[in-house]
Structures are given as C-alpha cells and as structure tokens.
Amino acid sequence: MDAVTPQRIEGQGTLEADWAGSTWLASLPITPAQDLLEGTRRLLVVSPHPDDEVLACAGLMQAALAHGVAVHVVSVTDGEACYPDQALWPPARLRDARRHELAQAVRVLGLDATHVTPLGLPDGGVSTHEAELTAHLTAQLMPADLIIAPWIGDAHPDHEATGRAALAAAGARGARALQYPVWAWHWLDPDAPAAPWPTAMRIPMDAAMRSRKREAMQAFATQTGDVEGLDCQPILPAHVTARFHRAFEVLIG
C-alpha cells in the first residue's frame, strides 16, 4: 500500500467494525486454500508496493508452502515515494528500508530472498511502465501457475496498472489469474445490497497463519509509523491494518 490522492482514497475510510457487520462480505463463499491451489505448480504474487503482498495474501502464501506449491513474489516498486514531504525519509532511504522490511516479512512467512524479485519500477508511475511489467510477467509465467495481483478497480493507479499487467500476462500464457483488493476496503460500501465482485471468495486462515501474518505486517515499520523522524500520519495506522486482521482473505476470480 502507498500514499495516494484519488477521490475515493481519503480520510480514515471505512472502519473494520463496519466491515464486520457487512452482509455481502459475510456471504462470500468460503474456498479452502488447498482447493484453490489444486493443480497449481507455482503461486506468483505480484505486489505494487512492499506490504501489499502481505496485507492481501500472507495466508495464501503460507498455505501454498504448506501444500508443496512454490511461491514467488514480484515486488513491482520499492514504495519509495510514500512520504514526499518527509526530509528524514527521502526516496533513497525509503527504498532501502522497504526492501529490508519486505525481506523480514517474507522470512516470517517461510520465504527468503530467492523468492522475491524486486523490479524497481517508479513508485506512482507503474502505468507508464505497464508494457514492460506485462512482458516481465509473461516471461515468468507457465500455464500451471496461479498469478495473484491487485484488483483492477482498487482506485490506486499503481494497483490497477499492476492488476492489468497480470491479467494480460495470464491471458498470454494460459495461466490462472486472481485479484486481491487492498484500497477497496477503504472506500467500498459494507452495506451495499450485493457484493461488487460476483466471483469473489473468502480464503480462511487458521490461528497460526493469522499470527504469522500479523508478525509479517509488523515488519513494515516505515508504513506503521514505528520509526524515528516520521512527522506525519503513517500509511498503515491501526485502523487500516485492522482490515487485514480478519480470519480470511478475499480473492476475486
């Protein structure tokens, strides 16, 4: 996740207490991870910024490893533009810090540096490199892979461009593709009469998976504000991270 200015992403957004009472969210069908992953050679998780992969898919990545499915993360940008007005956190420092945070987070989930490919595309400028990203993902994919990327309607330009590139690559290679919402939990209506995604599903996590996910999320100290010299609201305050402490993750088919 990263700092953005689109109309739908402002203020504190929808609180998790409201999502807890959402009828349409509770009615999404439950799909066990092992069923979702059946026949999958490799799970390729594409993340526009370091932390999106953990917020949205930490449980699924753990389940894949537990069921013998290879996992790889493509980190599209380093999220270096998240605090443009913070003199003590210029892009170069953030780039290094966020790569380190991602390495810490994936270790908690059972991965190491060999399972992460950082592309270093410009934070906030993925759409101008969409063709390059599509080509990279297409070259990486095999037909038996499952690629997971942000929802193309998430309302963050980097998320949407990453999602489009993943869908295009999957189409070119005959691979399965699913999408994950991140910013959507900020602005969607929990009281809407129907779910915005007809093919969405909930992937449950057990207590151990949830605990490791929380620990992995805590690794992103620059985003939670647990660092010195940050004189502004962090990207991931407690009311935002609460949306990702659920007993399930949501994927869109």
User: What is the domain-level CATH number for residue 198?
Assistant: 3.40.50.10320
The 3-state DSSP class for residue 234 equals: coil
Percent of the chain with pLDDT over 70: 97
Question: Could you tell me which residues come within 8 angstroms of residue 199 by beta carbon, excluding any fewer than 6 positions away?
Answer: 252, 253
Which pair of structure tokens corresponds to residue 73? Answer: 């993360």
Question: Average pLDDT, stretch 147-162?
Answer: 98
> pTM to 2 decimals?
0.95
Percent of the chain with pLDDT over 90: 95
Q: Does residue 10 lie in a domain region? A: no
The pLDDT-based confidence of 6 (bands split at 50, 70, 90) is very low
Q: Does residue 93 lie in a domain region? A: yes
Strands 248-252, 200-204: pairing kind: antiparallel
Q: Does residue 1 lie in a domain region? A: no
Computed from CA positions of residues 80, 83, 84, 88, in that sequence, does the dihedral angle turn out positive or negative? negative
Q: Does residue 11 lie in a domain region? A: no
Q: Does residue 4 lie in a domain region? A: no
Contact indicator for 184, 154 with CB cutoff of 8 Å: yes
The 3-state DSSP class for residue 183 equals: coil
Strand-pair partners of 126:
none
- Specify the number of domains making up the chain: 1
Question: 122-153 in b/e burial notation, b at 16+ Cβ within 10 A?
Answer: ebbebeebbeebbebbbebbeeebbbbbbbbb
Question: Looking at residue 10, what is its pLDDT?
Answer: 82
Distances (CA, A) of 224 to 8, 13, 60, 218: 21, 17, 22, 7
Q: What is the pLDDT of residues 63-119, one digit of tens each?
A: 999 999 999 999 999 999 999 999 999 999 999 999 999 999 999 999 999 999 999
Question: Could you tell me which residues come within 8 angstroms of residue 143 by beta carbon, excluding any fewer than 6 positions away?
Answer: 173, 174, 175
Determine what percent of the chain falls in helix, strand and coil, rounding each to the nearest 5: 40, 15, 40
The pLDDT-based confidence of 2 (bands split at 50, 70, 90) is low
Q: Which range marks the domain in which residue 140 is found?
A: 16-252
Say yes or no to pLDDT of 1 above 70: no
Q: Does residue 2 lie in a domain region? A: no
Q: What is the pLDDT of residues 224-250, one digit of tens each?
A: 999 999 999 999 999 999 999 999 999
Question: Looking at residue 5, what is its pLDDT?
Answer: 42
Q: Does residue 79 lie in a domain region? A: yes
Give the angle subtended at the CA of 127 by the CAs of 102 and 203, to the nearest 5°.
50
Strand order across the 42-47 sheet: 116-121, 70-77, 42-47, 145-150, 176-180, 248-252, 200-204
